[in-house]
Amino acid sequence: IASLIETAKINGVEPFAYLKALLEAIAAGHPQGRIDELLPWNFNPSS
């Protein structure tokens, strides 16, 4: 978790918003083959 938070900060992403969106996407069944879309440097707050 600490690594995800710091990586989000380095990429200019608000950590709480990122983790919330990440967990929601996983819970909604985000495909494993598209895991790169969930990385902090690919995070889009409006998604």
Q: What is the mean pLDDT of each run of 10 residues along the chain (47 residues)?
A: 92 94 94 92 77
> What pLDDT, on the 0 to 100 scale, is given for residue 43?
87
- Does the residue 26 lie in any domain? yes
Q: Specify the DSSP element, H or E, that contains 18.
A: helix 15-27
Written as six digits, the tokens of 19 are 């983790």
- Does the residue 34 lie in any domain? yes
* Pairwise CA distance, residues 6 & 29, whole Å: 25
DSSP 9: H
- Does the residue 47 lie in any domain? no
Instruction: Tell me the three state secondary structure of residue 28.
Output: coil
> What pLDDT, on the 0 to 100 scale, is given for residue 45?
73
- Does the residue 11 lie in any domain? yes
Written as six digits, the tokens of 9 are 């900060």
Written as six digits, the tokens of 18 are 């990122």
pTM for this model (two decimals): 0.80
Q: Which domain range does residue 18 map to? A: 4-42
The total number of structural domains in the chain stands at 1
- Does the residue 24 lie in any domain? yes
